[in-house]
Amino acid sequence: MRGMEHWLTKRAYLTPDNIAIELSNGETLTFAQLYERACEFASKLYTVHQNGHIAMLSNNSSDMVVAFWACTYLNVPVVFLNTRLTAREWQIQCEDADVKTVIFSDQYKEDVQQLTFKAYPFSEIHSFRSVECTLTTDMNLDSVCSMMFTSGTTGRAKPVIHSYHNHWSSAVASALNLGLMPSDKWLACLPLFHIGGLSILFKSVIYGMPVYLLERFDEEKVHRALMEHNVSIISVVAVTCSRLLERLGDEYYPTAFRCMLLGGGPAPKPLLEKAKEKRVPIVQTYGMTETSSQIATLNEAEALRKLGSAGKPLFSASLQIQVDDTTAEPNQVGEIVVKGSMVTTGYYRREQANQEAFRDGWFHTGDLGYLDEEGFLFVVDRRSDLIISGGENIYPAEVEEVLLSFEGVQEAGVTAIEDSKWGQVPVAYVVANEQVTADQLLVHCRSRLASFKVPKQIYFRDQLPRNATNKLQRHLLKS
């Protein structure tokens, strides 16, 4: 066992009075307070949690942070549910991830009733009596800390395992690249149920750094935080970055703001050029749930010279481009494969998927890219058919499956169209009986899919483009 003192316990001992969490209403939690509340919550949660995993359903809040750390003190893996999904999707994910108990923020009381799992709102847990129980003192770094779902080309989302060591390695690798200033404060407006959000919590505790936590991306609140609250780093996706630049107008960010970490999909060049013009310290990054966030990041120093690149793999990570299982030449496009201690140990109980993804120690991302002569990564395309809409992943196969489940639909193909607000949105091409209408399909989708996954348009066709082996050719749908 690779052990380490529990990070939050250690941090509360090292710098008890430093700020851990700062909210936009001015409230703060110190590391000592966060530690005390997490331990207290753990001693209450203990009474109801059964052996098995705990699913967490919540938008960003200090309650959610406390509840998460509480679970680590009980040494229970936390399965993060995306609040934007439907109850049907949560149910499937909980089953797939061996969840026994669901804990949630009170606003989801009604939705949660549709689940077959024991579910407790945060407020109810707070009202429990604390019981004596043994809380984790030394973490086993190889044990499972959290799980998050990522869709695959099969359409059914897969639970990605994150060990403590994955999160540790990710936080360390990021610090070695971005540096670590005593004045750092990281703004979190990405959902904590996504890796881009959650990873900030680990950085906070491991670095001893305050997180400026917002419930969600709110242009005005983020702008004000950057201008007035000494935020030094923020994680964004293209769509939020663009809106922030819009809001910035003729102003400039203060110099304390040193890094706008831009991930979650390809960044349009006009956006990068605009940022450059406004002297916004954009740091492009490439990563995914399976790599526990960043795996390659472009330094600001190179941002102008290598516009559009996602940089180089972080210090403890390795990255290659492979074509037919051999290493590609410079500038040759191939599959991006990665290795490193921040890379997931695998998908939970998906032997087949793991065999496909891990070969010779390399994780095969399915994304396409190339390395230039100097070794800078350019991502050409996310996994061929992945749609990224406002930072959320949509896998066409999942949407197609739902469409195909409607009586009278024979074939379905989903692809993306560009969207000025969300980057991409999904549209569907359908072969169906004449009785089937677009409205019927949309109603059907809305009851089964998170709204961001519901096609914005449905087009009826006589047939869909397929190759010789009859495989759907999604890239030809729009032609």
CA distances from 112 to 52, 106, 148, 230, 233 (A): 18, 10, 18, 38, 35
DSSP class of residue 134 equals: P
417 scored as a contact of its own copies (CB under 8 A): no
- The least CB distance from residue 14 to its own copies, in Å, is 6
Residues in 86-115 that interact with its own copies by CB under 8 A: none
Among 27, 142, 269, 315, binds its own copies (CB under 8 A): 315
Per-residue binding letters, 52-71, with its own copies (x by CB under 8 A): --------------------
CB 455 within 8 A of CB 478: no
Residues composing the chain = 479
Among 154, 341, 345, 354, binds its own copies (CB under 8 A): 341
Task: Give the other-Cβ count within 10 Å of 270's Cβ.
Answer: 9
- The least CB distance from residue 337 to its own copies, in Å, is 14
- The least CB distance from residue 178 to its own copies, in Å, is 9
CA distance 177 to 88: 40
- The least CB distance from residue 61 to its own copies, in Å, is 27
Among 182, 249, 351, 439, binds its own copies (CB under 8 A): 182
DSSP class of residue 204 equals: H
CA distance 286 to 37: 34
Residues in 202-221 that interact with its own copies by CB under 8 A: 206-208
13 scored as a contact of its own copies (CB under 8 A): yes
Inter-helix orientation angle 238-248/219-228, to 10°: 60
Q: Please tell me whether residue 398 adopts helix, strand or coil conformation.
A: helix
- The least CB distance from residue 203 to its own copies, in Å, is 11
Among 4, 304, 380, 417, binds its own copies (CB under 8 A): 4
Among 172, 272, 387, 412, binds its own copies (CB under 8 A): 172
Q: Sign of the C-alpha dihedral, residues 416, 420, 422, 427? A: negative
CA distance 31 to 187: 17
- The least CB distance from residue 361 to its own copies, in Å, is 8
Task: Give the other-Cβ count within 10 Å of 249's Cβ.
Answer: 9
Residues touching its own copies, count (CB under 8 A): 25
5 scored as a contact of its own copies (CB under 8 A): yes
180 scored as a contact of its own copies (CB under 8 A): yes
- The least CB distance from residue 382 to its own copies, in Å, is 24
Phi, psi of 407 (to 5 degrees): -55, 125
157 scored as a contact of its own copies (CB under 8 A): no
Place of tokens 């009826």: 460
Q: Which stretch binds its own copies (CB under 8 A): 222-230, 309-317, 327-335, 452-460?
A: 309-317
- The least CB distance from residue 16 to its own copies, in Å, is 8
CB 276 within 8 A of CB 283: no
130 scored as a contact of its own copies (CB under 8 A): no
Q: Which stretch binds its own copies (CB under 8 A): 4-12, 21-29, 153-161, 453-461?
A: 4-12
CA distance 454 to 85: 11
Give the H or E element holding residue 394.
Answer: strand 392-394
Name which of 256 and 271 has its Cβ closer to its own copies: 256
CA distance 9 to 25: 26
Among 131, 181, 417, 443, binds its own copies (CB under 8 A): 181
- Looking at this protein, which amino acid is placed at residue 23? L
175 scored as a contact of its own copies (CB under 8 A): yes
CA distance 361 to 76: 28
Look at phi and psi of residue 31 and say left if phi exceeds 0, alpha if psi is from -120 to 50, else beta.
alpha
Q: Which stretch binds its own copies (CB under 8 A): 277-285, 311-319, 422-430, 454-462?
A: 311-319
Q: Which stretch binds its own copies (CB under 8 A): 171-179, 211-219, 325-333, 425-433?
A: 171-179
Name which of 154 and 316 has its Cβ closer to its own copies: 316
CA distance 265 to 254: 27
Interface with its own copies (CB under 8 A): 2, 4-5, 7, 10-11, 13-14, 172, 175-176, 179-182, 206-208, 312, 315-316, 318, 340-341, 375
